[in-house]
Amino acid sequence: MRWDITDMLLSPTTGTAFAVARNSEKRSVIIWYRGNYFLRPNNYLRTDGARVFIDGKPQDFRVIHTMPFFPAIWQTLKNSCHCPGNDNVSLRNCEKQQTCLFELCPYGIKMIS
């Protein structure tokens, strides 16, 4: 089944991420995951048994939980994930370096030294 990614959030304090995936106009889910690849809007996800393919390529990707998409839940997640890149991907520096569990910023923001 194909799922189109429409939104993403990162949680620097847990080292995990969230994505909204849609497979039809009326069916959307929130995917909570950990992996070496980050789902971005316009990516698509396919599953084949235990394997996950993103844009047709297998990726190291572990789904922690999925849940139906509801705007209120997504807003709660947005309010809880304190990553500067979630709100402003054009930032050049990140002040969350001390608490961020990502080795490299998925948004490509430089860490302040």
Percent of the chain with pLDDT over 90: 51
More confident residue, 99 or 29: 29
pLDDT value of residue 51: 82
Helices (H) and strands (E) in the chain, counts: 2, 9
Residue 112 pLDDT level (bands cut at 50, 70, 90): low
Q: What is the mean pLDDT of residues 46-53?
A: 84
pLDDT value of residue 90: 79
State how beta strands 61-68 and 93-94 pair: unpaired
Indicate if the alpha-carbon torsion angle 62, 64, 70, 76 is positive or negative. negative
Q: Is the pLDDT of residue 61 over 70?
A: yes
Instruction: Report how far apart, in Å, the C-alpha atoms of 99 and of each of 85, 96, 112 are.
Output: 14, 6, 12
Nearest to 14 by CA among 90, 82, 108: 82
